[in-house]
Each structure stands twice: as C-alpha cells, then as structure tokens.
Amino acid sequence: MLTRAQDHEEDNAGVYYHGVDSVTGFVLAGGKSSRMGQDKAFMQLGGRILLTHALELVGAAIGSAQIVGSAKKFAAFGTVVEDIYPGQGPLAGIHAALASTGTELNLIVAVDMPFLQPELLSYLVDQARQTTAMVVVPEAGRGLQPLCAVYRRHFADVAERSLRLGENKIARLFADVQTRVIDQEELERNGFTEEMFRNLNTEQDWQEAKLKLSAR
C-alpha cells in the first residue's frame, strides 16, 4: 500500500496525532560484513569508526540513538538491543528495535551509510509526524531505502510474522502496510542527493568513500 509524496497532503488533512513527538533512534550494527571481510562498525573513516559516526549522525537529528547488535561488542558505546531472531538480517534488527521501543515513531539507520546528513534524517522524521503511515521510506537510486527510514512500532508485528516464516526481505512488507514513499524528486527538491544513501559493502566501496572524503 505505497503512497507517493504528492498523495499525502490531502490524506492527512485534519488528522489528530497522538504522542508522536518523541522519536527513538536506532543504528543497525549487527550485520555479518561478509563481503567487507571485517566488522564494518569498527572501520575508521574520516578519523572515526563508522559506529561512532552513525550514532552522532542520528543523535544530531533527534537527540540520541541506541545500537542494534551484539551487547558483547557494542556495550561500551551505548545502549544495545539484541536480535530476537538472530541471523535473519536487517529485518531482524528492525524487529528487535521496534519490539524494544517506547515511542510510536522510530528512526532506523544502517551503520554503513556515512554520507547521510542530519538534515535528511530530520526531514524523514518530520514527514512521519505528518502522516499515519506505518513506514516513511525514501526512494533513491536503485529503489527504496529501508535502512534509512522511520517505522511505527507496530511494524514489529508485521516483521515478526515474516521472520517466523523465514522471509527476511524488508521492502516486500511495505505493500502490506500504509507506506509513505519519499521519491527521488522530492528528495532532490529539498536538497538531498542520491549520493547520501551510498552504503559500504565491499573493499572497493570503502576505498571510494575514503577518496570522496579526502577530496572534500
């Protein structure tokens, strides 16, 4: 049930919002990093490890962030939420975050997206506050960006049903819930580029990111 940017304003007229001002932020840091060959969360870029950078990024947008991953690895960096369905990819991380949250709205960001900007994250949260959609997700480049999105906590129920069936694809679930898609045209109109969503999966990605930062 995907809705595009141009459809949401009329639909939201007169909506009364209940307790959505507070937002919890989460950084997904539990990936296996198999293609990179080392734990991405601890790789340094621009003088900081990616985990610290991601926590600071989300913190700049909404105040603070929790970590979704291994408490043994990450407890020194802040509050850690561990997967309830380990080994089932990012959807398991989203589920764990939403199962633990105390707020209706939740900003979830992957640890390996160093070119995101706080202004973009704040924009996503602002849009989530203006809609009753269960998910607010940007669309850039090759498709939807579910690892940089805002989820209402009841998406945990949808995620759990899928995880129990062994189905771990996140974007497939968006057709089953009300989803506000922020398309690339809207992103660009507000000054947000496709480049912000670049993630780091391979050594080549890593080297390109270092070159990009050194050229600034």
Q: What is the pLDDT of residue 128?
A: 98
3-state secondary structure of 148: strand
Q: Which two tokens stand for residue 139?
A: 């669309």
Q: What is the pLDDT of residue 44?
A: 85
pTM here is 0.86
Q: Give the pLDDT band (50/70/90) at residue 201.
A: confident
- 77-101 pLDDT tens trace: 999 999 999 999 999 999 999 999 9
Q: What is the pLDDT of residue 8?
A: 38
Domains annotated on the chain, with CATH: 2-6+22-214 (3.90.550.10)
Residue 145 pLDDT > 80: yes
Name the residue type at position 68: V
Q: What is the pLDDT of residue 142?
A: 79
Say what angle helices 155-164 and 89-100 make with each other, to 10 degrees: 140
Region 182-188: what's the mean pLDDT?
96
Task: Choose the weakest-confidence range: 45-49, 142-146, 182-186.
Answer: 45-49
Residue 38 pLDDT > 50: yes
Q: How far apart are the first and last CA of the chain?
A: 40
- Alpha carbon distance 202, 205 (integer Å): 5
